[in-house]
Amino acid sequence: MTSIRVYAASENAVPMGLQRAFPVALAVAPISALFGALAHQADWTLLEVILISAFGFTGSGQFAALPFTSESVGLFTLLLLTASLNCRYIPLAIASTDRLPKAKISKAIAGHMLGDEAFATERANDSVTVVLTIRSCIFASWVLSGIAGYLMADILPIAEISEKLPLTFPASAVLLFLCISQLKALTKKSAETNQSSYFLTVVAFSLAIFIALALISLIGPIFFWIPCIACLAVFFWWVDKT
Amino acid sequence: MTNQALIISALFLTSILVRVVPSLVDVKLPANCHRFLNGPLPKAVFITFAVYIFYIESANLLALLIVGVFAVFALPGLVFTTLVGCAVAALL
């Protein structure tokens, strides 16, 4: 009976992963297409766009690094800039390492394909297949949209359209929806374990939002990630304990 | 080395540093750490994300609030909510 259930679960893992990843993959596509179009304007080749989308795979990092195409900067300076922007991935990678395959190479590839949206789509009890399907789907969408944006740059003025329409908004909306859904699930889980009251949960979340807002206003949106995640993690650990 | 190659190398190295290496760290963690990784840490990450989204998309505050309310009350699902949010953001 158990083996039948396990077989059924693994058989459904790919469609289940695709079903959850597809709307997210659609939402990130306009951002990557915009990057492709801007890279075309900055005289990048198609191969370079494919390489940066596949090996870089980071919206914020790619957009931030693009203006340096025509300036002479060293690798260390670029590394410092992109690492500062992307250091938020460190806690995400640590928190999701249990869901990854055991083999080192597969684990490394899955780790590279970790994105904000993938992290927010995955659940703690997801199987390795579901996690790999979600990450691959979003990754493929990112790379293919970058290529599409590059190829369509001459036909469709994507860069001009982005000034009139909020092309980055779909990804932000999807990420916000997923974050709230995950927070609801996590709150439900901790309420079952700790028997905490609804009122205390609301107070804790309000305080956490206040701390995050204070930190983003003080440090700015680039460098607030690690201090904010660290502060809030300690805060929630203390709340759960007390 | 062209600037494009430098940028691609920097981003790839960054990915190794911030995503691949932390994913490969395989330390036997005590039960307390596991509880921390499955509860307080994800909560902290998701609140940080939400606050960051409101900060960078402050021009589309109403659309984001609609998405937030729909998500809190689990009203019409991810796709429909995103479409409504995008329509509001495009119209305003």
Beta carbons of B9 and A75 less than 8 Å apart: yes
Q: Which domain holds residue A18?
A: 2-165
Cα(B92)–Cα(B89) distance, rounded to whole angstroms?
Answer: 6
Whether the Cβ atoms of residue A155 and residue A40 lie closer than 8 Å to each other? no
Identify whether A184 is part of a domain. no
Contacts of residue A51, defined as CB under 8 A and 6 or more positions apart, other chains included, come to B8
Domain tally, chain A: 1
Residues of A in contact with B51 (CB under 8 A): 209, 212-213, 216, 228
For residue A6, the model assigns a pLDDT of 43
Cα(A25)–Cα(A117) distance, rounded to whole angstroms?
Answer: 9
Cα(B64)–Cα(B69) distance, rounded to whole angstroms?
Answer: 9
Identify whether A211 is part of a domain. no
Identify whether A219 is part of a domain. no
Q: What is the mean pLDDT of chain B?
A: 87
Identify whether A179 is part of a domain. no
Cα(B2)–Cα(A47) distance, rounded to whole angstroms?
Answer: 14
Q: How do residues A137-187 score in pLDDT, each as one tens digit?
A: 999 999 999 999 999 988 877 767 777 777 778 888 888 988 898 888 888
Sorting pLDDT into bands at 50, 70 and 90, what band is A223?
Answer: confident
Residues of A in contact with B3 (CB under 8 A): 68-73
Identify whether A33 is part of a domain. yes
Mutate to test the interface with A, among B9, B43, B81 (most CBs of A within 10 A): B43
Beta carbons of A180 and B50 less than 8 Å apart: yes
Mutate to test the interface with B, among A176, A178, A239 (most CBs of B within 10 A): A176
Global pTM reads: 0.83
Task: Write down the ipTM of this complex.
Answer: 0.87
- Name the token pair of A175: 């990420």
